[in-house]
Structure 1
Amino acid sequence: MKSYICAIGTANPAHKIPQMQIAGFMAGALQFDAANTRKLNALYRISGIESRYTVLEDYSRANGDFEFFPNTAGLEPFPLVSQRMQAYRQHALPLSLEAVRNCFEQVDASDPRQKVTHLITVSCTGMYAPGLDIELVEALELPSHTERTSVNFMGCYAAFNALKLADNICKANAEANVLVVCTELCTLHFQKSVEHDHLVSNALFGDGAAAVWLSSKPQSGFNLAFEAFHCELVPSGKKDMAWHIGDFGFEMTLSAYIPELIKKGIKQFAERILDKLALKPEAINWFAIHPGGRKILEAIEQELGITKEDNRFAYQVLREFGNMSSVTVLFVLQKLLAELKPENDGEHVLSFAFGPGLTMEAMLLKICHVR
């Protein structure tokens, strides 16, 4: 029995901020002089990002008049974790609902809400209990017996774990319809630090949500059938990518060595998932790679011998939205789905994501077009 991604819906907050405007906010918050501001601007210009979305309008107000951050020099007293979690709880549900409604519009059912048997929520940027999963059940008026699972704090690859769980559920129960909802409010966790890791993470991450409908039965139109999954740990990168809860928000470790670590292992990693189906690299027609950053995408292209055109969906998402942690690869898959034509039926999609550990996740999908 197979399972299928039948629909993907996405959503972003109302505040779309140009990348260089965010750089201005950061330079002011860090109280940089002219020389350091020029260096920061250079970092933002080469990021490959043109704009990001945020639940905090403050990032568009470089001269103050803030609502979330204090209107003081240096933003002191800097917001505590409790304040950031309060903002997460305020904004996570509305954004999640927008993504779900966008997804439901694509589902071939008169009332998808009554068809949901399982709900999986994913986030690494906020948590509370009773949580987002219960709030979604109530707000969507899902059946009260909907089975719920939460995947928390696993970082940028977490959507893969949710999709693997949904795949197993659908294979075990032919009547299952699984709703996966990923919601990340990364911009709540701005760190007022001049450490390189924090400067880079401040330059990359944005906010977004995505909802996925999965079933053991494909629906009319384009579906993505799960063919194989593969996961590997690279322990030597454990300290290079990490995510910790500090006193003033969640703190990202993202070292400059990550692209090189991924480059060293990506070819063998790709071969191992292809071997599960006895496929050669040339059998892959499409790529859906998590855009963790421009250098990561370039490293993968060099090692696998693929072009920027092959990897265009990742670059498009990075350019328009930045890195939205677990949500991002679902945006990439949505861009890919929108470009498919009936003649692509049966072609293969290879997808990657990376996160703390250093964890490398891959999945192999097959395009299924139902007339």
Structure 2
Amino acid sequence: MAPVVRGLGIANPPLYVSQSEAFEFYSSHFTLGTDEKALYRRLLLDGPIRGRYVGMDRKEDACDTDPDRLNARFLKYARRTAAAAAAKALDEARLCAADIGGLVVNTCTGYLCPGLTSYVSEDLALGHGVRTLDIAGMGCGAALPNLEAAAGLLALDGEKPVLSIAVEMCSATLFMGADPMLIVSNSIFGDGAAAAILQRDGAGGGLVRVLDFASGVYPSYRGQLQYRQEGGRLRNVLGLKVPHIGARTAHEVLRRLLERRRITHDAVKWWAVHAGGTAVLDQIERELGLDPRALRFSLDVFQTYGNMSSASVLFVLKRIIEEGRPCGGDLGVLLSFGAGFSAFAVLVEFL
């Protein structure tokens, strides 16, 4: 029996920085070369993003390069933001903490042992009997395999719903340097969390029915998109080919999913695609032959929040539900890709 998403919550850390504020800060607090400053100006002042939420007490925290303090900041804001998103999902689902039987959390922007499930289960008072699973190292695509793992936990014991949380504090991986890929990363990534509650179909209520999953891993492209350790810190690697690779691999995974379900491309009415950037969305639109308006919710999320890594795709789904208002029975696809190189697709039916 297909699981149902009963509640969907999103949250961001409280500090909001407009792109113009970010440009002013970088210009005044770091020594930038002429080319660096010109690229920051183009991305921050002339780009589509209006601003981003960041997990910092104050903007000056962006100057801190101490790995221990960065990881402490990651923990502080990741657990708070994840718990806030989860609380909203519980409220929408009209459930309480005692109703939850499983918790799956993914992140790639900080390392903890124990993982975030230990902290989030404590913050939400989920109880000692909750099943937990931490997912790390899957990058921007991880929310969708998280949902699949949550569906697996639900299949083991379908009596209690499972809470699936994607949370990223990309600001904890800010890495200054003249490399254009660093400048792009510092200009587009933001922080956020999204939480979905999965329950058995037929238990009452729900937003979407999760029909099927598909995924693919392409190690030959690993070097195009990854974090690497440098001086005890995470440094983002964002290759120029990422939009093309992401679109091509996502298309391949999607094709397998639709063929398995014997569904035509035209039958899909709603597209929740990872809001990785305008180049990414443009390439996916071309690769899939989509109408220009098909990805408007992804673009809107990118313009409003920046790229929140794995959380982004669920922000898009939330916006589709609230603003697109799909009809019951409409089919939708969630698409994401990330480190690995990996790509993921989920087929859903709106309720």
Pair in the same fold by TM > 0.5? yes
**Paired residue secondary structure (1:256):** coil
Within the alignment, does 1:99 sit opposite 2:82 as a pair? no
Within the alignment, does 1:108 sit opposite 2:91 as a pair? no
Q: Which amino acid in the other structure matches residue 230 of structure 2? A: G
Identity %: 25
- The answer to whether the 8 Å contact 1:228/1:276 transfers is no
**Change in CA separation of 1:281 and 1:247 when aligned onto 2, cut-off 3 Å:** same
**Change in CA separation of 1:35 and 1:122 when aligned onto 2, cut-off 3 Å:** closer
Q: Which amino acid in the other structure matches residue 39 of structure 1? A: L
Q: Cα distance, 1:267 vs. partner?
A: 3.6
Q: Deviations over 1:17-62 (max 9, x none)?
A: 1112212323344412555423321123454211100122543xxx
In 2, the alpha carbon distance for the partners of 1:277 and 1:97 equals 35
In 1, the alpha carbon distance for the partners of 2:207 and 2:36 equals 48
Please list every run of 5 or more consecutive structure 1 residues that lacks an aligned counterpart in the other structure. Answer: 60-65, 70-74
- What number of residue pairs does the alignment pair up? 351
Deviates more, 1:203-212 or 1:88-97: 88-97
Counterpart for residue 11 of structure 1: 11
Q: Deviations over 1:131-152 (max 9, x none)?
A: 4212222222212111111011
Q: Which amino acid in the other structure matches residue 74 of structure 2? A: Y
In 1, the alpha carbon distance for the partners of 2:208 and 2:115 equals 30
Within the alignment, does 1:158 sit opposite 2:142 as a pair? yes
- The answer to whether the 8 Å contact 2:167/2:194 transfers is yes
Counterpart for residue 320 of structure 2: 336
Q: Which amino acid in the other structure matches residue 251 of structure 1? A: R
Counterpart for residue 232 of structure 1: 216
**Paired residue secondary structure (1:179):** strand
In 1, the alpha carbon distance for the partners of 2:116 and 2:142 equals 16
**Change in CA separation of 1:46 and 1:230 when aligned onto 2, cut-off 3 Å:** farther
Q: Deviations over 1:186-229 (max 9, x none)?
A: 11111111112211111111111111111113565542111121
Counterpart for residue 358 of structure 1: 341
Q: 2:228 aligns with which of 244, 247, 251?
A: 244
Counterpart for residue 41 of structure 1: 41
In 2, the alpha carbon distance for the partners of 1:176 and 1:320 equals 34
Q: Structure 1 runs of 4+ off > 6 angstroms?
A: none
- The answer to whether the 8 Å contact 1:47/1:204 transfers is no
Q: Cα distance, 1:171 vs. partner?
A: 2.6
**Change in CA separation of 1:236 and 1:219 when aligned onto 2, cut-off 3 Å:** same
Q: Cα distance, 1:240 vs. partner?
A: 0.6
Calculate the TM-score normalised by the size of structure 1.
Answer: 0.89
- The answer to whether the 8 Å contact 1:108/1:219 transfers is no
Counterpart for residue 293 of structure 2: 309
Q: Cα distance, 1:254 vs. partner?
A: 0.5
Counterpart for residue 23 of structure 1: 23
- The answer to whether the 8 Å contact 2:212/2:348 transfers is yes
Q: Cα distance, 1:265 vs. partner?
A: 4.0
Please list every run of 5 or more consecutive structure 2 residues that lacks an aligned counterpart in the other structure. Answer: none
In 1, the alpha carbon distance for the partners of 2:196 and 2:73 equals 25
Deviates more, 1:243-252 or 1:14-23: 243-252
Deviates more, 1:28-37 or 1:354-363: 28-37
In 2, the alpha carbon distance for the partners of 1:218 and 1:81 equals 47
**Change in CA separation of 1:130 and 1:323 when aligned onto 2, cut-off 3 Å:** same
**Change in CA separation of 1:14 and 1:187 when aligned onto 2, cut-off 3 Å:** same
The 5-angstrom pairing of residues 121-160 of structure 1 reads 121-160=105-144
Within the alignment, does 1:287 sit opposite 2:287 as a pair? no
- The answer to whether the 8 Å contact 1:6/1:219 transfers is no
Within the alignment, does 1:262 sit opposite 2:246 as a pair? yes
In 2, the alpha carbon distance for the partners of 1:175 and 1:221 equals 15
Within the alignment, does 1:81 sit opposite 2:64 as a pair? no
- The answer to whether the 8 Å contact 1:123/1:182 transfers is yes
**Paired residue secondary structure (1:93):** helix
**Paired residue secondary structure (1:149):** strand
Q: Which amino acid in the other structure matches residue 321 of structure 1? A: Y
The 5-angstrom pairing of residues 170-181 of structure 1 reads 170-181=154-165
Q: Cα distance, 1:4 vs. partner?
A: 1.1
Q: Deviations over 1:61-93 (max 9, x none)?
A: xxxxx3x35xxxxx5xx5222110111122222
**Paired residue secondary structure (2:92):** coil
RMSD: 2.0
**Paired residue secondary structure (1:176):** coil
Q: Cα distance, 1:359 vs. partner?
A: 0.8
- The answer to whether the 8 Å contact 2:272/2:333 transfers is yes
Q: Deviations over 1:300-346 (max 9, x none)?
A: 101212133211111111011111111111111111121354x7111
Deviates more, 1:233-242 or 1:148-157: 233-242
- The answer to whether the 8 Å contact 2:137/2:339 transfers is no
Q: Which structure: larger Rg?
A: 1
- The answer to whether the 8 Å contact 1:6/1:223 transfers is yes
- The answer to whether the 8 Å contact 1:100/1:211 transfers is yes
In 1, the alpha carbon distance for the partners of 2:123 and 2:24 equals 38
**Paired residue secondary structure (1:344):** coil
In 2, the alpha carbon distance for the partners of 1:262 and 1:148 equals 30
